[in-house]
């Protein structure tokens, strides 16, 4: 049975998890009639959004992201906060990637009344991963969640996507995790706001301290992303709940600093502009493709590009000029 927009909104406002989940399914849907209702819903909840702290968490597979989120989330709840957990997974559209890693379902956190855990979308969807996750985040914010924790799943572009929708970016590092072999992807180091060296125990404490020094040195060579913020490198164990308080505190400090310097709003504004630009392209293309001959041409030009008959940018230009050229 179709749920009315009003019912969705009342459900979200009252924190009804079943309706929150259904609203998220609605915004993830690619069906045009669903999209129309999604737009209406998002428009109406907009005034209720924007108040959470949006945290992106990255790290190589197995670094302990899910374990960290589970215990960090419980810590936030102990501090009286409500926590929503989302995943961003650019690979899921292709291989129907696993849901927040099948190994870790965050069972303890999931039991908490003040936690909401949402698996990443697992099939093709409109608007790209970051935009879909952003809209999911809006719904969670309207439902009163104070922290939105976003786990990056898969490697590569997911960090860029997640940094486009978050306020603070946390990098979980493990010693000997392979990432230092690649000099730790420079891109990540430039994006990161807080580093947590995870799985530190008595036996590897000295190694961890050395890694911390190396990271600090590497950071010194990079331009700082936020003025007056020195990226902290913390040590601890997500599994044993060591060092998470410090991360919590650093995130708090970082957000306070960004608010004081107006960077908080400024970055969010830039992020919104980027989303706007994205949607303009998305909708222009969708409108154009409603016409059969345009759709046909689109497929042909795309094929030329994919068959390497010509350069993708040349094909894109030819396609657009065929239909949009002033005459």
Ligand X SMILES: Nc1nc2c(ncn2[C@@H]2O[C@H](COP(=O)(O)OP(=O)(O)OP(=O)(O)O)[C@@H](O)[C@H]2O)c(=O)[nH]1
Rounded distance between C-alpha atoms, residue 179 and residue 105, angstroms:
25
Segment interacting with ligand X, rule: CB under 6 A, options 77-85, 99-107, 178-186, 305-313:
99-107
Give the interface size with Mg ion as a residue count (CB under 5 A): 3
* 198 sits near ligand X (criterion: CB under 6 A): yes
Q: Which is nearer to ligand X, 210 or 240 (CB)?
A: 240
* 86 sits near ligand X (criterion: CB under 6 A): no
- Answer with the entry of ligand X, Mg ion, none that 238 interacts with (C-beta below 5 to 8 A by kind): ligand X
Tell me, residue by residue from 33 to 52, as one string, x for binding to ligand X by CB under 6 A and - for no binding: --------------------
CB of 301 to ligand X, least distance (A): 37
* 74 sits near ligand X (criterion: CB under 6 A): no
Helices (H) and strands (E) in the chain, counts: 14, 7
Which strands, in side-by-side order, build the sheet including 233-235?
Answer: 115-117, 83-88, 147-152, 53-58, 168-174, 194-198, 233-235
Class of residue 216 by CB neighbours under 10 A (exposed 0-12, middle 13-18, buried 19+) = middle
* 173 sits near ligand X (criterion: CB under 6 A): no
* 62 sits near Mg ion (criterion: CB under 5 A): no
Residue 195: φ, ψ to 5°:
-115, 135
Rounded distance between C-alpha atoms, residue 100 and residue 119, angstroms:
6
CB of 203 to ligand X, least distance (A): 10
Residue 112 to residues 83, 105, 145, Cα–Cα distance (Å):
9, 13, 13
| Contact indicator for 128, 34 with CB cutoff of 8 Å | no
Which residue in the set 58, 66, 131, 198 belongs to the binding site for Mg ion (CB under 5 A)? 66
CB of 152 to ligand X, least distance (A): 8
* 243 sits near ligand X (criterion: CB under 6 A): no
| Contact indicator for 171, 194 with CB cutoff of 8 Å | yes
Segment interacting with Mg ion, rule: CB under 5 A, options 7-15, 59-67, 155-163, 190-198:
59-67
Rounded distance between C-alpha atoms, residue 159 and residue 152, angstroms:
7
DSSP output for 120-158: PP-S--TTHHHHHHHHHHHHHHHTT-SEEEEEE-SSSTH
Segment interacting with Mg ion, rule: CB under 5 A, options 77-85, 95-103, 125-133, 298-306:
95-103
* 128 sits near Mg ion (criterion: CB under 5 A): no
Q: Which is nearer to Mg ion, 42 or 170 (CB)?
A: 170
Q: Which is nearer to ligand X, 42 or 168 (CB)?
A: 168
Which residue in the set 2, 18, 103, 227 belongs to the binding site for ligand X (CB under 6 A)? 103
């Amino acid at each position: 049975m179709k749920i009315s927009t009003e019912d969705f909104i009342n459900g979200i406002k009252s924190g009804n998890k079943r309706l929150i989940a259904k609203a998220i399914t609605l915004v993830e849907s690619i069906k045009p009639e669903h999209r129309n209702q999604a737009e209406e819903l998002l428009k109406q909840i907009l005034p209720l959004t924007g108040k959470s702290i949006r945290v992106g968490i990255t790290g190589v597979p197995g670094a302990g992201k899910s374990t960290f989120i589970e215990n960090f989330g419980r810590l936030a709840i102990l501090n009286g906060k409500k926590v929503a957990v989302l995943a961003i997974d650019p690979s899921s559209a292709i291989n129907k990637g696993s849901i927040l890693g099948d190994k870790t379902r965050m069972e303890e956190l999931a039991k908490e009344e003040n936690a909401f855990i949402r698996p990443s979308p697992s099939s093709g969807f409109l608007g790209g991963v970051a935009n879909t996750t952003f809209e999911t985040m809006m719904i969670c914010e309207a439902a009163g969640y104070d922290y939105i924790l976003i786990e990056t799943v898969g490697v590569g572009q997911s960090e860029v996507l997640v940094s486009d929708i978050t306020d603070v970016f946390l990098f979980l590092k493990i010693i000997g995790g392979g990432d230092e072999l690649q000099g730790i992807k420079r891109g990540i180091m430039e994006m990161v706001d807080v580093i947590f060296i995870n799985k530190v125990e008595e036996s590897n404490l000295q190694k961890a301290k050395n890694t911390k020094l190396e990271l600090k040195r590497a950071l010194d060579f990079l331009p700082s992303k936020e003025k007056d913020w020195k990226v902290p490198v913390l040590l601890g164990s997500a599994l044993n709940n060591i060092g998470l308080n410090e991360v919590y505190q650093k995130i708090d400090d970082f957000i306070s600093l960004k608010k004081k310097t107006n960077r908080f709003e400024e970055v969010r504004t830039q992020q919104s502009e980027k989303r706007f630009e994205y949607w303009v392209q998305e909708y222009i293309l969708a409108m154009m493709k409603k016409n059969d001959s345009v759709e046909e041409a689109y497929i042909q030009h795309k094929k030329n590009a994919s068959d390497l008959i010509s350069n993708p940018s040349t094909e894109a230009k030819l396609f657009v000029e065929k239909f949009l050229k002033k005459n």
